[in-house]
Copies of this chain bind each other. A is one copy, B any other.
Amino acid sequence: MGLRAVLFDIDDTLFSTTQFAKAARRNAVHAMVETGLDLPEEVVLRELEEVLAEFTSNYDHHFDQLLRRLRPKALESVNPALIVAAGVAAYHDTKFRELKPFDDVIPLLAALRAAGVITGIVTHGWTIKQAEKIVRLGLVPHLDKRAVFISDQLGISKPNPKIYALALRDLGLQPPEAMYVGDSPSHDVTPPKSLGMKAVWARRASRYAPTAGDAIPDLVVEDFVELRSALRTDYGLAV
């Protein structure tokens, strides 16, 4: 049975979430210091990392908390709202303006589309955040726009295999006709394998190692040049 669709995870698969978050934090701290926060950047950065660890990433007031914790002298002569706004603006600019996929992502998606293969996304997260990433990463022209499955929108979350089963049903595919590519053995390999799909562990930005209970992936790849080559030689796709 030939491969008719390749579906992808987003975070740490199509771009390095960690690397962008790190750059965003650094730029935010730099902007805050430039706006008058009178402390060394390393001190502010270390405190920001603590705030981010203590509050969730969907919390709205990290930078306000940061100023409350630091109690800088500067607040006697600078309206704190300016420091917070400078940090938030620099953070958003980095995370959204500079967001781009790994260099080999768009070429692979374009080649798959040209070969008549469905390209899509199955992702865990909040609808607006994940959809914005897809837009900002420039993926929209290279995806089948039906084939975007976001856990928050479906009420089913990874690692529940139902999210993959739902994608197959909506796209009219049998499990062996679809491949999933992701960075997490437990979320991105084991569940689709349990349905009979093909699954690829993309290791480049992965923070996870497979554990004893995890299924064996059909492929382990460092990057998408390697994946593309395997799709050509092992799966007979003209990519």
Q: Which residues does A use to contact B, with CB under 8 Å?
A: 35-36, 77-79, 81-82, 84-86, 88-89, 92-93, 96-97, 127-128, 130-132, 134-136, 140, 145-146, 148, 150, 153
Contact = CB atoms under 8 A, between A and B. Distances in A.
Given A36-B145, A89-B136, A140-B35, A131 B96 contact: no
B36 A86 contact: no
A211 B81 CA distance: 34
A184 to B, nearest CB: 22
Counting every copy of the chain, the complex holds 2
Contact of A128 (B88, B127, B136, B140): B88
B82 A135 contact: yes
A148 B79 contact: yes
A82 B131 contact: yes
Given A35-B140, A97-B97, A140-B35, A85 B135 contact: yes
Contacts of A81: 127-128, 130-131, 148, 150, 153
B35 A89 contact: no
Nearest to A97: B97
Contact of A86 (B89, B93, B96, B140): B140
A37 to B, nearest CB: 11
A89 B92 CA distance: 11
Contacts of A127: 81
A34 to B, nearest CB: 8
A78 B86 CA distance: 36
19 contacts: A35-B140, A36-B145, A77-B145, A77-B146, A78-B145, A79-B153, A81-B127, A81-B128, A81-B131, A81-B148, A81-B150, A82-B140, A82-B145, A84-B128, A84-B131, A86-B135, A86-B140, A88-B128, A97-B97
